Amino acid sequence: MPYLSYLRAINRALGDEMERDPAVFLMGEDVREALTNTTIGLLKRFGPERIIETPLSEQGFTDFATGAALAGLRPIVEYQIPFLLLLVFEQIANQANKVSLMSGGQARVPVTYLLPAAGWRPAWGAQHSDQPYPMFGHFGVKTVLPATPVDAYGLLVTAIRDDDPVVVFAPIAAHKVQENVVFADLAPVPLGVGRVHREGADVTVVAVGHCVHDALAVAQDMAEEISVEVFDPRTLYPFDWDGLAASLEKTGRLVVMDDSNRFCGLAAEVLATAAEEMRLVAPPRRVTRPDSAVLGCVPELDLPLQPDRGQLAVAIKEVLKGAR
Amino acid sequence: MMDEQAGAAEQAGAAGQPESLQEDLYRTIALIRRFEERSIELVRSGDIVSGIHPCIGQEAVAAGIGAALRRDDVMMANHRGHGHLLAKGTDPGRLFAEMMGRATGIAHGRGGSFHPSDLSVNVYGSTGTVGHGAPMAAGVAWALARSGTDRIAISIFGDGAVNQGALLESFNLASLWQVPAVFVCENNLYATTLPVQDAVAGSITGRAEAFGIPAASHDGMDPEVVLEATAGAVARARSGGGPSFLEFKTYRYEGHHTFELTAGLHYRDPEEVAQWRSRDPLELAGSRIPADRRKQIDEEVEIVIDTASRFALDSPRLDPAEGLDYLYSSGLRLRSGVSGG
């Protein structure tokens, strides 16, 4: 079976959807040269009318995409760097995502916002290392964070076909993941449906994005002593609460590993909801970035600020010790 | 020619002989004037809870633009947008209902006075984030051109918008890609309370010119001037000539928002207001048509406004259980704000 890498999966999803639907086009910076590797071959295949090179004008072209969507097209807008999503937060959360409501259902904005390089990379500085995904969920923007190439393909396809704005975060730390696949088996993955990567009986680890792979490694390492279930929501918003409840019904113990900042982060919402509405027999734990973490230019400083396998293993053991 | 155009004449149901262009423009101005005056009464009576941003004094701009557009052309309006929608052919009753938050509103009350849209006449939206309709209109125009039609998109914004980054970015994109868009600045001299001379360095038209977009400034109190200028820009866009920019100098007689009815602000000299009132577009357009026709149109407009406001007032109120409707095109439902609810 051929290997599919994470970025190739994104590239394949873009190509397949552009092939399937002439209304789909992509715009962004340096997309002709495929700087992020997502658009390799697409300019040649679909031409400059559908692979639109933009100036550094993110607020303008994000609103522009909203207009194109209102006129019946299905834009995909690519951003190279996480903070650009802060620059266009107004355009996504306050403009595009409110069109359906403000028009009383008359209009729709099927735009996909693609961030192929979410998160930290060594020494790229304080303005290139954020994980702003919880903000979008807070404002009700559909948000996905695929962990694997197959899910990256399937969730991106679904995002493009969805009639609402969807933000797709592709964590840098997951880019190295490859999977054996049969290309013909690649299929859309529905929004709001999580995936149990590993079944277990003692504790549920909710992990998103590249953290899924850390959680799987830790689960394997601890397999002889603890049975860890790894639950990947895949879509952050809307969240698969039913899937989480089913897992906790079985395990009753919860750890969340989330690469966003602690305060009002994704893990905070998962813990709150689980505490209110689901079966928990011990206090839950979070492994996240610190409050308002800012990662900078020195790996020795930055790495300890990001959730890692050692922290997760400790949290799992603590949850196993704890009891209500 | 006229029968291809969406105008208030069509909407008002004028019977009998075809109206002259001047009568059509007058009817639109009168309709907007009376709509806004009635709206202010409905704000005072508490039926329009939001208050409104009245466009009284600026009606000639909307009327001229409306007459220059086809129904299938796309408009992005703004927070002071009632006149734009009416000139594009929106049903006044459904617009009143929208502003009152009634079930029969164009957007079932979800757009309100601030963010009205009416896809049936191709008004795609009215953004309250000042200036952000311009990049959306550029995107609409680009998509329309791609689809091979000769439809165009127009964005209408105020002088307060011309310092917004997203708007200036849209000029660059629109010119770079030669999209069939018309950008219209209704310069009413004030951004809320801020006089334009305290806000705009350089000139308003100079902003568009800097991006290679042809730009001109015109009298916004004369609907025929507005019509002629807009028709030229529309023709240019329709024929593949790219975007244009028009500044119309106009004035709002009322406050920025009806909160000024009680706010007691003093940023404008009453003499200045009086001076602009002396160039009232309603009187100017009215002076150009026979007195008997003007009287007849006034009577017809009155009936339209009475019927429309009655329709809205008689319409059912919204069901609080439907507060989360329409948030998503896909029908996604959200969790309640109460645990376990």
Distance in Å, alpha carbon of B196 to nearest chain A alpha carbon? 24
pLDDT confidence tier of residue A323, bands split at 50, 70 and 90 = low
- Interface contact B139-A95, CB threshold 8 A: no
Among the partner residues B107, B176, B339, nearest to A104 by beta-carbon distance: B107
Is residue B334 less than 8 Å (CB to CB) from chain A?
Answer: yes
Average pLDDT, chain B: 93
pLDDT confidence tier of residue B336, bands split at 50, 70 and 90 = confident
- Residues of A noted as catalytic: 128
Distance in Å, alpha carbon of B52 to nearest chain A alpha carbon? 16
Strands A3-5 and A166-171: unpaired
Q: What percent of chain B has pLDDT over 70?
A: 95
Which range (A42-51, A118-127, A300-309) has the least confidence?
A: A118-127
Nearest CA among A243, A254, A244 for reference residue A324: A254
Q: Which of the pair, A55 or B339, is modelled with greater confidence? A: A55
CA distance B36 to B55: 7
Substitution target from B73, B75, B151, B328 for chain A, most A beta carbons within 10 A:
B328
Helix axes B92-99, B291-314, angle to 10 degrees: 40
Q: Which residues from B are below 8 Å from A62, CB to CB?
A: 135
Look at residue B6 in the predicted model and tell me its pLDDT: 45
Per-residue pLDDT tens over the stretch A66-78? 999 999 999 999 9
Per-residue pLDDT tens over the stretch B204-228? 999 999 999 999 999 999 999 999 9
Would you say B281 and B249 are in contact if contact means Cβ atoms under 8 Å apart?
no
Look at residue A324 in the predicted model and tell me its pLDDT: 57
Strand order across the beta sheet in which A235-237 lies: A51-53, A24-28, A74-78, A112-118, A166-171, A142-144, A235-237
| Residue in the structure block whose two tokens are 């052919």 | B89
pLDDT of A299 higher than 60: yes
- Interface contact A63-B176, CB threshold 8 A: no
Nearest CA among A280, A278, A214, A285 for reference residue A243: A278
Fold of the A3-185 domain: Rossmann fold (3.40.50)
Is residue B137 less than 8 Å (CB to CB) from chain A?
Answer: yes
Among the partner residues B109, B330, B339, nearest to A277 by beta-carbon distance: B339
DSSP code at position B121: G
Per domain, the residue ranges of chain A are 3-185, 195-321
Nearest CA among B74, B83, B4, B22 for reference residue B228: B22
A195-321 has the same fold as A3-185? yes
Distances in whole angstroms, Cα of residue A118 to Cα of each of A94, A147, A171: 22, 12, 4
pLDDT of B280 higher than 90: yes
- Write the burial class of residue B97 (CB in 10 Å: 0-12 exposed, 13-18 middle, 19+ buried): buried
CA distance B62 to A161: 37
- Interface contact B173-A60, CB threshold 8 A: yes
Distance in Å, alpha carbon of B280 to nearest chain A alpha carbon? 33
Q: Which of the pair, A82 or B119, is modelled with greater confidence? A: B119
- Interface contact A64-B165, CB threshold 8 A: no
CA distance A180 to B88: 56
Per-residue pLDDT tens over the stretch A91-100? 999 999 999 9
Substitution target from B75, B90, B169 for chain A, most A beta carbons within 10 A:
B169
Substitution target from B207, B332, B336 for chain A, most A beta carbons within 10 A:
B332
Contacts of A32 (CB under 8 A, 6+ apart): A39, A43, A48, A51, A53
- Interface contact A101-B176, CB threshold 8 A: no
User: Exposed e or buried b for every residue in B59-85, given b needs 16+ CB within 10 A?
Assistant: bbbbbbbbbbbebebbbbbbbbbbbbb
- Interface contact B105-A70, CB threshold 8 A: no
pLDDT confidence tier of residue B16, bands split at 50, 70 and 90 = low
> Which 3 state secondary structure label does DSSP give A276?
helix
CA angle B290, B291, B295 (to 5 degrees): 120
Q: Which residue of B has its CA nearest to A138?
A: B334
CATH architecture of A195-321: 3-Layer(aba) Sandwich (3.40)
CB atoms within 10 A of CB A294: 14
**How far from the centroid of its chain's Cα atoms is residue B3's Cα?**
21
Strand order across the beta sheet in which B215-219 lies: B123-127, B74-78, B153-158, B181-187, B244-249, B215-219
Distance in Å, alpha carbon of A226 to nearest chain B alpha carbon? 31
Residues of chain B numbered 173-192 and touching chain A (CB < 8 Å): 173, 176
CA angle B227, A66, B140 (to 5 degrees): 35
CB atoms within 10 A of CB B124: 25
Look at residue B18 in the predicted model and tell me its pLDDT: 80
3-state helix vs strand vs coil in chain B, percent to 5: 50, 15, 40
Look at residue B334 in the predicted model and tell me its pLDDT: 86
Q: Which residues from B are below 8 Å from A57, CB to CB?
A: 169, 172-173
Would you say B28 and B7 are in contact if contact means Cβ atoms under 8 Å apart?
yes
Would you say B315 and B97 are in contact if contact means Cβ atoms under 8 Å apart?
yes
Among the partner residues B107, B136, B146, nearest to A103 by beta-carbon distance: B107
Per-residue pLDDT tens over the stretch B83-136? 999 999 999 999 999 999 999 999 999 999 999 999 999 999 998 889 999 999
Give strand pairing partners of B155: B76, B183
Per-residue pLDDT tens over the stretch B149-179? 999 999 999 999 999 999 999 999 999 999 9
pLDDT confidence tier of residue B3, bands split at 50, 70 and 90 = very low
Q: What percent of chain B has pLDDT over 90?
A: 87
- Token representation of residue A103: 């028009």
Residues of chain B numbered 207-246 and touching chain A (CB < 8 Å): none
Question: What mean pLDDT is predicted for residues A245-274?
Answer: 97
Q: Is the peptide bond before B243 cis (omega within 30 degrees of 0)?
A: no
Would you say B24 and B66 are in contact if contact means Cβ atoms under 8 Å apart?
no
Distances in whole angstroms, Cα of residue A321 to Cα of each of A202, A282, A294: 11, 8, 32
Per-residue pLDDT tens over the stretch A197-212? 999 999 999 999 999 9
Query: How many CB pairs below 8 A link A and B?
Result: 152
pTM of the predicted structure, to 2 decimals: 0.95
| Residue in the structure block whose two tokens are 């709001």 | A192
Q: Which residue of B has its CA nearest to A191?
A: B332
Q: Which residue of A has its CA nearest to B119?
A: A106
